[in-house]
Structures are given as structure tokens and as C-alpha cells.
Structure 1
Amino acid sequence: MPFKFFRVTTSLLSVFLMFCQASHAQDSLKNLPEYSLPISNQKLVIAHCMTNIIRFKGHPFEDVCNPEYYPPTGNISAPIGGMNQVKPMEDSLLANATLDETVEFEMRAAMRSGIDGFQFYYVLGATSWDDIIKAYFRVADKKHLNFKFTFCISHPNGRAEAEKVAEFARRINGIMDEVGHNNDHWLRTPDGRLIVYQWLGEPLADIPADKKGLPNAYYVARAYKRLADAVHERFACLFTINEEISKEKLNEFLDYFPATWIWTLPYGKDYLGNMVAEECAKRHRTFTGSVFNDFYTSKTQHKGTWDMYRSVSEAVAAGIDKMDRKYITCGLSYNFRKLWEFNIEHNVPITNVITWNDYPEGHHLAPEINHNESFSILLNYYKSQWKGLSSPYANKDVAIVFFKKYKHDVKPSPYNIPVVPFQKETIPASWEDSIEVVSLLKTPGQVKVNGHVANAAAGFSVHKFIMQNGPVDVSVSRNNSATIHFKTPEGITGKPYRADRITYTFSSEFDNFYRDLYPGFKPQYSHEYNPHFAGR
């Protein structure tokens, strides 16, 4: 105990001394040689992981993704037609699990989805999350799972820089003291720096009124250097781009950081990634690519804001007239596919998945009854192309279907919570008024959806079909002999009872993908608009 106390006290003292340096800013951080060094010597898929959104005994899902509030009736969220439009499959499986059992499930499920590691959403004040992170390391070590971890310092608002740096340093030191700085599961650069992500991470820094002619990016970099020193590490920080950014502002950050990543900006002909990748190449910085599959929040927010109703009772008390939900049109699988193709074209060293388990924002890959396994199949396919490997589906036929539960211009009744787009429209909403099938075929064949036929080439193909009410019937055939046939558990409706713009997917690989995922795991199904579904 005395030794640990001495270490913590010394750490806080070192932080204090850093803040007592000369009052005149001295730019010793600009264009350091290490900023041009490689971030990774292997291609990795790293997913943003919501640290606390997991299920184990005594730790339920938070209200905004709790399956209890998925049904429109029979629970306290009934007055707004059900709080949530997502239902994690693992809730019933892990309700009595230990923390270690749960994190093992998360890692094994993520690995099956093609993910190589997590960057943990990491915020001020959430000290209990540190035990969850330690459990991931503990289980990865014990089970010999090849999986990487790091921190994503997220919106560190409020308080002074010195206080924030001290808290993060104390907590990160606590984790590293337990799991070891030299633990192989840390996500590091080839030269040994700890890769640290930021999500709106700039507020860690105090920006003085008199900036001494230096850009904000300098003070942000200085704050992260102070944090790195306080945890006795060298950081390779990836600053986040969460909105359209000018070339001038981008280059200010590239003066002080080695790499960047883009959050949920959808793909289009003017995709910001083109400019960012070009500038990174000029500056010998690392552009890491990002992909996201969907964006429809189960979170209900105060109308016109991002201020979330954090509990079901708060949301119900407010009522539908005082709330909305946020949305990005992703064009069914289009955005996910095009971002992957962009990353392959630019030969990025890391592809960031947004996200593994942010069910409330609807861009999750983790097992859930609407997204199911389909985006994970696409991820594994594109990952093989990116790494120059054979497709994991090269020797079989696969068909994947994507659709919305109703057309974009249909008005739900009676629970029509407004759905508000918040990014510039790069993908027309009308593109989602169809049934989309991605096929991976051994040889050319015919794809049939609800009786409509399209000729599909060998390998990867995408076809769109007319949107019809009811469940979707999909088959693949050659010479009038079907090699695939399935009907979706969920259906399409012309009369939705509530607003729900989550993308629904299903595939011929559903049973294979979830078989033996984890002992006792049983997939669940969405069938709101398929009343005749009898289970599988």
C-alpha cells in the first residue's frame, strides 16, 4: 500500500509540475519525426466499443438499449410505442453470467465478425468501467485470444486540464499496473507507442485566451503529451474528424498528430475522406479508414438537440411531442460497402468499425435481432480483399438481403416520433425504398426475390428489387435447381405503428454464423410485421 500511494502521489506531482512550466508557450511538438512513422505493420480491423454496454449479472443494459423496452406494449415505455428499436440477442444469455464470461462472449463474437480489437469509449467519471477493461485483458490472456485493446478518450468536457489529465492518468495507471505495460494485447505502433484514439477529444486541453500565435491543435497535442508522460508512455494519437473540416484546419492538426480517423460521415462523390487521405499522404501522416453500417438512434432526444432522455421514465414523461431521433441515410448496405471499397483503394493500415455495440445509435455489429449477421459477412469478405486473401465464402453460395420495414415517405401511426437527418444528404432516401440483395456465388446463377429474377455473376454482386409488403422470399438457383432458399423472419409493412428506420438484414448464413458462437447462445428474431412467423 505505501508503494502504491507513493506512485499515485508522484504521478499527481509530475502532472502539477508540468503545468507550472514557463508561461510562454514553446512549440516543441510541431512536425516531430515520429509523426511520420507507421501506425501499424499489419492490417487491422479495430472497432469502437462502448465499454459499459454489456450484460452480466447485476449489470443490465442501460435503458436506451434494454430489451425490456423493445415491445410496444407490456412495459412502462408503452405510451411512446416502446423506447427502443434494437434488441441485443445476448441479454437473456448473459443475464446471470459473470463479467469474465460476458467479455469472452463479446470478444469471440467480434472475432467471428472479423474484428481484431477494441478501442474503448473512455470518459471522465466512469471509474467502474476500468474493471470491465481489466476483465477483457484478463480473459484474453487466460483464453489466449489474439485481440488488441486501447483507449478512446471521449468528449472530456468540464473542469480544468490539469484535473482531467490527473484523473485519466490515475485510472490508466491503475489498469496498466494490473495488466502490465508490456501486455501483448495493447494496440501499439511498430516502434512501441501506444495507439490512443480520440472522439471529440480536443476538450482535454485548456485553450488560453492568448494563444501566443499558436493554433488550438498545439494545445490539444500538449495536453495529450502531458497525459502520456503521466502514464509513462509514448502516445500515437488519432484525432477524430466528426464533421466537415477545412484543409487549413486539417493541416493544423497534422502538424501535431500522426494519424486521424473519420466518424460517421457517409460516403458520397464528395466524401471528405478523399481530401483527408490526400493531405495525409502529402504530410506523411497515417489516414485510417472508417466504416459504419447504419445510423438510427433508439435514443430519444430533446427535440432539436442532442440532449438525450437518459431513462425510460424521463422519456415517457416528456412525451412524443417533445422528442426526436437522429438518422443518417445509409442506402441499406451501400454506405458500408462503399466505405470499405474506399479503404481498400487507399490501402489503409487500419479500418475502424463504427461500432461494435453502440446499439442506441444503431450502427452495431454485435448480435441483435435487426442487423443479425449480414454486415459481419460483408466485413469478412471485404477484409479478405483488403488483405489480399481468398474470400472466406469462395467455395459456397451466399445471399444477403437488406431492407427497411417501410418506405421512407410512409407516416407511422400512432407512435410517430420524428426522425431527423443530421448529415448532409449524400445518399437519397428513395434508395432505401427497395429490397437489396448482395450475393457471393461460386459460379453465375439467378437470384430471385419474391418471384422477381436477376442474373448474378460469379463472385460479388448487388441487385435491387421492388419493395413489397410481407416477408421477403430469397433464393439462388442454377439450371432450375435452388442452392439457397430462405424467407426472412421480419416483413415489410405499409402501415407501421411506430417510427423505425433501422436497417433489417438476414442471410443464408444465419444459422452457420450463430452456430457454436458461444455455449448456450440461441439467436432471436424480429418479426413485428410478419405475424405468421412461427420460429425456426
Structure 2
Amino acid sequence: MPFDLPQPAALRSGAAGRKLVFAHYFTPYPLSLDNASADADYYTRNYLDPDGESGKHERYGGLLRDRPLPVQPKGGDWEYANLQQEVRTARAAGIDGFTLDLLSLSGKNWDRSNLLMAAARSVDPAFKIMLMPDMTSLKTDDPAVLAEAIATLGSAPAAHRLADGRLVVSPFKAEEKSAAWWTRTLDILQSRHGVRTAFVPLFLDFGAHSAEFAPISYGFSEWGSRSYVGQEGNTRDVRRAHDLGKIWMQPVSVQDARPNQGIYDEAGNTATLRATWTHAIEDGADWVQLTTWNDYSEGSQFAPSLHNGYAYLDLTSYYLTRFKTGSWPAIVRDTLYLTARTQFAAADPTGDQSLVMSLRRGSAAPRDSVEVLSFLAAPAVVRTAVGSAKDTHEAPAGLHSELLPLKPGTSSAEVVREGRTRAEVELPYPADRSVEVQDLQYYAATSGRGS
């Protein structure tokens, strides 16, 4: 990375320890689904292949466009070991914990939720899991049923609690149920299970529901926008929450492209990541939720992935340090981040895909750009190659974004100072005008890591 990440103790103590950063964990997409080699595992055969799962996802060109960074098959309890690895990766990036998307109260996702609680505790007792019942997925209308499930998971030592012992409960799309329904749920948690709670509802429409939920809430959050335009509402929402005496958990995102829903947002290379982090910092958010750690079906992953490596996670560590400590970290190593799509936004897939993604209303306009994001310890020349087009630009010390037109072929960049190459990076995935499957995610590479 271009800077030295503070030690965990520095990020978890004093004022920094009160500024919490969580990453949204989505249980359907762990590091491995079958403990097989990546060249023939379930991700490769059934989620990335348009014909996977007996053609179930053919209409939209396959379920996923990216996958977790492959891991080697393991002996013993490999699922537990892989979850431990994910906790270590998040912790090493400075993240305080996961928000756990509770999709079901039984079955594989429930089992994986319980396993994650144990894995977090075993790796780092200070790494916390915030419970996030997913009200778009859970199939119960009975407050007692949900309360029992929350109490069960909440009994794990890794469950996120405030200093006064209250269990934090942060339901996704809380407005799916009324404030009265949630009041009954929280009352049952305390009367039957002895669990006091701090309720932090996450809304899809915060403005319409903040007043109704204020009397029962410790704080608020929202899912947020996945494009770099239209982020001004964050300032208003943080102020509204604080005016009501509540904490605010700000969503920070990198991109969003959903083949199976036929919709995407224009992220503008790293513009959305930088804009959402900037708002979290400048607007005075109390907590941050990275949306998401690993929802590959939405293309919103911060976790290390096949097509992005550690690029987006490393960038987040930079902004996270400023968010938690109040100071920008010194840039001590020249580092480049290169982002681009592998196809042009208007490309019409030639394969059997019939449902193509359309731009979400309110998103920025589509663009076909390569971004060179430079972190330099001192001014330098940056040489670039995008397809057959070669260019140079002067980059100042600090952070600088340079946009270049996307062209067919691969992209690369290098930092040159005093006649010597100081850093170099190549994005090995070539852009093409003719594509079989639509893929509107931005791929990323960094000079700061070997892969």
C-alpha cells in the first residue's frame, strides 16, 4: 500500500475506536463452496459459466462476473478455516467487523452465520459481528420467531455490543415491518431472552421512516446510492440523524452491477468509492458500512477477488485511516491503481444473453474510461499505455486521478522519476468491442501487491 496502516490497537482505542467500520457479509458467497480447485469449482462451473446450474442463469449470461480470490483446497473443517481467513483479511485492512446479512433462520446460510460467529471469535475477540436480519428475505411475520433467532446468534461472544452491553441489531430494509412490530420484537428479546438491544435500522427510504422509528432507535443507516453523483443527500441524512440524537452508519460503496436484475450503476472507475468515503468523513458519520464485502451477484465486493485483487480493499484502508484517526496517512511509497472495464458500456453481447443491464435511474451517465489513480511520495511522470495509445502526464505528490479513453487491448502505467521506474502496474484483462456476455464491472489492479 502507499502508506503504513496503523496497528490495530491504534485504530481501536480512543477516538479512533469510536469510529467503527463494518463490511456487509453475504453468506451465499464464501471463499469456496465445495473446497475444490478454482479451475473446476462451483463458482467456475455454475456461477461464472453462462450455462451453469443447468442453464438456470443463461438469460442474463451467468449469475456472477467475478468471484472470491481463489484459495487452495484444505483438509479438515475447510469452511471454518476459510471464514477465519476472511476475518483475518478484513482485520488486516483495519475493518472492525462484519455486518451479517441474516437471509434465513435455517439451512446453509443460517449454519454459515453461526460458523462465522465462531470463526471471528477464534481469530480476534475484538472483531465484531453486527446482526442484520434481512427483511426482504426472512419469511416470518412472528416477532417471537425472529427474537429467538437474534438471541441465539447474539449469545455468541463475537456479537457486536455497545460498551453498556446492549446487543446491536440493524435490520436491512427495516421499513418492511412497522415500528410497532419492531417494538414487539425488541420487547420479546428483553422479556423472554434477557437481551437488551441498541436498534440501528437500515432503510431503503430513510426520509420516509426516520420519524416513525426514532423513539425505538439508537441510530440509523441506509443502503445508499452506488454512483458518484447524487451523494449530496448523505449530508442531509447524517444531520437529520444527529438532530434526532442518533448515531449514523454511512454506506460506502465501490460499484454495483446486477446481471440477474438487469440493472447497473455507473461507478466512474473509483469515483464512487472516493465520493462515498469522502462524504462519510466530511459529513461526520459515526460508523461506516462497506456495501458490500462479498455480494458478487451485485458486483459490489470490496473483498479480494479474481478480477480486482486487493485494489479496492487497499484503497479503503487509506480512507478508513483518515475516518478513524482524523488525519490522512503519509504517502511513503509510490503506488498506482488502474481500473477499467473489459468492454464498452454500449456493447451488445453476441451470446445467448437476452436480459441486459440498463442504467439505474439517477445514476451518472455511462463512460468508457481507464483511470490511473496515483499515490505519489513526490511529483513524477506517469507513462500510460491503453491498447495501442501511449501517453504521459505529470502527477503531483499525493493522490491524483487521471482519466484516459478506453481502447481495445490491455492497459498499463508506470511512475518515472529521475529517469527510474518507481512503480508499475498492468491490468491484464483486455478490453474488446465484441463481447459474448455483458460485464459492466470495473476491473482493478495495483502496483502495491504482487497479485
Scaled to the shorter chain, the TM-score interval is 0.7 to 0.9
Distance 1:201 1:194, change over 3 A: same
Q: Could you tell me which of 495, 515, 527 is aligned with 2:434?
A: 495
Q: Any gaps of 5 or more consecutive residues in structure 1?
A: 1-38, 206-215, 302-324, 512-522, 524-536
Whether 1:136 aligns to 2:116 is: yes
Report deviation, 1:250.
2.6
User: How big is each residue's C-alpha offset from its partner over 1:53-106, in whole Å with a ceiling of 9 and x where there is no partner?
Assistant: 325675889xxx822232457985496654431222236545975232111111
- Equivalence for 1:335: 272
Task: Encode CA deviations 1:167-190: one digit per residue, 9 max, x unaligned.
Answer: 23333444455x3xxx3x331223
Task: Say if 2:131 and 2:170, in contact at 8 Å, map to a contact too.
Answer: yes
The answer to whether 1:168 aligns with 2:146 is yes
**Contact between 2:383 and 2:391, CA under 8 Å: does it hold in 1?**
yes
CA contact (8 A) 2:293 2:303 kept: yes
Unmatched tracts of structure 2, length 5 or more: 1-14
Q: Does 1:252 align with 2:225?
A: no
Deviation by residue 1:214-240 (Cα, 9 ceiling, x = unmatched): xx4344334333344433211111112
Q: Could you say which structure has the larger radius of gyration?
A: 1
With over 3 angstroms needed to count, the CA separation of the structure-2 counterparts of 1:466 and 1:480, relative to structure 1, is: farther
Q: Is 1:88 aligned with 2:68? A: yes
Distance 1:220 1:142, change over 3 A: closer
Contact 2:35 2:73 in 1 (8 A): no
State the partner residue of 2:263.
326
Q: Where does residue 508 of structure 1 map in the other structure?
A: 447
Equivalent residue, structure 2, for 1:353: 290
Deviation string, structure 1 residues 196-249 (Cα, Å, up to 9, x no partner): 11101344x4xxxxxxxxxx4344334333344433211111112214x54x64
Asked if structure 2 preserves the Cα contact closer than 8 Å seen for 1:250 and 1:276, the reply is no
Letter of the structure 1 residue corresponding to residue 254 of structure 2: N
Q: State the match for 2:165 in structure 1.
A: 192
> Are 2:195 and 1:233 aligned?
yes
Match of 1:379 in 2: 316
Other-structure match for 1:319: none
Q: Letter of the 1:271 partner, please give it.
A: E
Shift of 1:468: 1.5
Query: Separation in 1 of the partners of 2:192 and 2:336?
Result: 51
SS in 2 for 1:132: helix
* In structure 1, distance between residues paired with 2:114 and 2:312: 29
Deviates more, 1:142-151 or 1:446-455: 142-151
Instruction: Note if contact 1:130-1:175 (Cα within 8 Å) is conserved in structure 2.
Output: no
Q: Name the amino acid aligned to 2:392.
A: V
Alpha-carbon distance in structure 2 between the residues aligned to 1:217 and 1:75: 40
* Equivalent pair of 1:67/1:84 in contact (CA under 8 Å): no
Shift of 1:150: 2.2
Question: Where does residue 25 of structure 1 map in the other structure?
Answer: none
Q: Does residue 410 of structure 2 align to residue 471 of structure 1?
A: yes
Partner Cα distance (2:444, 2:138) in 1 = 40
Q: Is the 8 A contact 1:189 1:195 kept in 2?
A: yes
The answer on whether the counterparts of 1:57 and 1:95 sit within 8 Å (CA) in structure 2 is: no
SS in 2 for 1:54: coil
Please give the root-mean-square deviation of Cα atoms over the aligned residues, in Å.
Answer: 3.1
**1:413 CA displacement:** 1.3
Residue in structure 2 matching 1:435, options 336, 349, 370: 370
Amino acid at match of 1:364: Q
CA distance in 2, matches of 1:156, 1:66: 25
What TM-score do you get using the length of structure 1 for normalisation?
0.72
Q: Distance in 2 between matches of 1:173 and 1:250?
A: 25
Match for residue 23 of structure 1? none
Q: Structure 2 residue aligned with 1:457, among 392, 396, 400?
A: 396
Distance 1:74 1:262, change over 3 A: closer
Q: Match for residue 126 of structure 2?
A: 146
Residue of structure 1 in register with 2:4 after alignment = none
Q: Compute the displacement of 1:403 (Å).
A: 1.0
- Paired residues, number: 426
Higher mean alpha-carbon deviation, 395-404 vs 107-116, is at: 107-116
Which range is displaced more, 349-358 or 481-490?
481-490
1:266-281 equivalence runs, <5 A: 266=226, 267-269=228-230, 271-281=232-242
1:45 aligns with 2:25: no
Q: Deviations over 1:447-505 (max 9, x none)?
A: 22212122111111111112111010111111232111232211111112211111111
Verify the 8 A CA contact 1:355 1:364 in the aligned structure 2: yes
Amino acid at match of 1:112: A
TM value normalised by structure 2: 0.84
Distance 1:220 1:422 in 2: 35
Match in the other structure for 2:106: 126
Residues 219, 136 of structure 1: alpha-carbon distance in 2 compared, 3 angstrom cutoff: closer
Cα distance, 1:398–1:229 mapped onto 2, change above 3 Å? farther
Distance 2:274 2:355 in 1: 28
Partners of 1:57 and 1:96 within 8 A in 2: no
Aligned residues with identical type, % of pairs: 20
Cα distance, 1:425 vs structure 2: 2.1
